[in-house]
Structure 1
Amino acid sequence: MNQLLLPLLLMLVVAIPLVMGTRKQKKAAAAQQELLSSLAPGDRVMTTSGLYATVADASADTTIDLEIAEGVVTTWLRQAVREKVEPAVETDEDATDSTDTDEVVEAPVVESKDDERVEEKSGAQIAPPLEHGKK
């Protein structure tokens, strides 16, 4: 009896994580399938490539039409939809803050070796142009 106890315990130690991992994968697949079947026109989604779009037509079984810009509709596989996202809601404070700032900030100018004027954008450093063929 003692000779069978150790192999049985080892099999349990290996089998339990495998079963738990399989259950987790099945739940994730079921949740993804539920998401894909619940898509309707007007839903805001993100694709697996990171593209944010609005569902324009979801009547086909394997494809879905996504509006990526005003009047620009593209056709995607349903499996390319990663998740539904909530549309960005602009609060009253955001609306008033954006209209209050009317001042223009000029970017600093950096002089390069070739006396070319290069504008620096928001603190980023700009490398001088490459000199090909010179040694």
Structure 2
Amino acid sequence: MLISSAFAQTAPAAAAEGGIMGSLTGMLPLVLMFVVLYFIMIRPQMKRQKEHKAMIEALAKGDEVATAGGLLGRVTRLSEGSMYIEIANGVEVQVQRSAVTQVLPKGTVLK
């Protein structure tokens, strides 16, 4: 046989000695990995999402913005989920508000 009878007889006794502490000790690495994952990945991502949402809600007419597609322009009109950006004199494009990646300092976009 692969397992000696002496080892097989002591296995239940060894498992009973650990009890709850043995099972908690076995789960400790899993819990620690989740805690580290939360503080390294999940929490910073939630913070970035909250900051982006606040930036989108604070957009106003006249702000100069950069979009995810690389467009630079000045906000001319705002609506519920979209906005119009003037990218050149007399040229306006409609984009979703969520496409804005950053608000640029005034005077960045050429007139």
Task: List alignment gaps of at least 5 residues for structure 1.
Answer: 90-135
Which residue pairs with 2:87 in the alignment? 68
Which residue pairs with 1:29 in the alignment? 49
Q: Name the TM-score, length of structure 2 as normaliser.
A: 0.70
1:16 matched to 2:35 = yes
- Describe the SS at the equivalent of 1:34: helix
* Count of aligned residue pairs for this structure pair: 88
Deviation at 1:55, TM superposition (A): 0.5
Matches within 5 A, 1:28-107: 28-58=48-78, 60-86=79-105, 87-88=107-108
Deviations 1:19-77 (A, max 9, x none): 2222211111111110111000110100001111110112x111111000011111111
CA distance in 1, matches of 2:36, 2:97: 31
Q: Name the TM-score, length of structure 1 as normaliser.
A: 0.59
- Describe the SS at the equivalent of 2:108: coil
Deviations 1:68-107 (A, max 9, x none): 0011111111111111111339xxxxxxxxxxxxxxxxxx
Which residue pairs with 1:7 in the alignment? 26
Deviation at 1:5, TM superposition (A): 4.4
CA distance in 2, matches of 1:76, 1:83: 14
Which residue pairs with 2:8 in the alignment? none
| Greater helix content | 2
Which amino acid is the alignment partner of residue 65 of structure 2? V
